[in-house]
Structure 1
Amino acid sequence: MKRLTQTDPFKIVSSESSSASEIREATDELIEMILELSDSATDDTTLFRIMNYTRFILQTLQKKSLCKFFYPTLLFRARASAFH
């Protein structure tokens, strides 16, 4: 069930030390892997579980990324508005 999340492209996408170009390339590879998996799957239940688990992990990464990106901005705005 964890097979997509254990691939090198997924590790690159989820790594904080990856560059933007590495992430773009890894994302393309990951999309290809997802398409191949869905085309070759014989058991829909297993495929659903793999995709659902992968989606859950990607959403978690997205939330962490958004918090890291927006939190400093929101914190700065909150401090600035306290002085007005």
Structure 2
Amino acid sequence: MGGPRLDRLRDNERAQAFLTGAGAAAIGAIAGSAVPLGLALAHRWQLGVLVAAVLWLLVFRRGVVAALLGAGVFGALLAIV
């Protein structure tokens, strides 16, 4: 249903300029928040969960949702122990 509208957006230079800037802003926001969050790790096991999630995403090229769910479950189990 939205195909024709999407085609018009692809051809629109102003929309392309906005999306290019929005993508760069999103990457900057993620990188800017990742450093303080990484420095706020309070327990050694949290670093292991973080490393596993990074490997899952960047090395194995798996999905973000699975990484978040897996890290959440794994972290919750480790926090209990």
**What TM bracket, shorter-length normalisation?**
0.3 to 0.5
Query: What is the TM-score with the length of structure 2 in the denominator?
Result: 0.39
Considering Cα pairs closer than 8 Å and 6+ residues apart, tell me whether 1 or 2 has the greater RCO: 1
TM-score (norm. length: structure 1): 0.38
* Higher Cα radius of gyration: 2
